[in-house]
Amino acid sequence: MDDQGCPRCKTTKYRNPSLKLMVNVCGHTLALQLSREQGITLRGSAEIVDEFFSFGINSILYQRGIYPSEIFTRVQKYGLTLLVTTDLELIKYLNNVVEQLKDWLYKCSVQKLVVVISNIESGEVLER
């Protein structure tokens, strides 16, 4: 593995060295490497991560039956059929979460995202 680190924070530890496109813990190296090759920026890679996270959350909410299936619609993305919510309150909430995620990605202040499903009344963790 090459020792190229982030020019900004000097981090060299990669999340998953077996990936072809390796993401540095801080996110900077990916942006630096790809900007040379494909014109992708840190802002662009943050957009990709938050879009992926948003689709992932929608999928979890649908597949686990946390929200009724009637509030989801099918969309085509990445050559796949994905489900996204049509509930305006849920969309508003998820947009706020994704905006916060983008902010953390831009500031390189997030290293791991954990989705926790808990009982709303007891707070008991049902799935992590």
Question: Tell me, what DSSP letter sits at residue 26?
Answer: T
| DSSP H/E element including 118 | strand 117-118
Question: What pTM did the predictor assign?
Answer: 0.62
Rounded distance, CA 113 to CA 110, Å? Answer: 8
For 74-115, write each residue's pLDDT tens digit. Answer: 998 888 889 999 999 999 999 999 888 888 887 878 778 888
Domains of the chain are: 42-127 (3.30.900.10)
* Sequence-distant (≥ 6) Cβ neighbours of residue 126 within 8 angstroms: 117, 118, 119
Question: Tell me, what DSSP letter sits at residue 119?
Answer: -
Rounded distance, CA 66 to CA 75, Å? Answer: 20
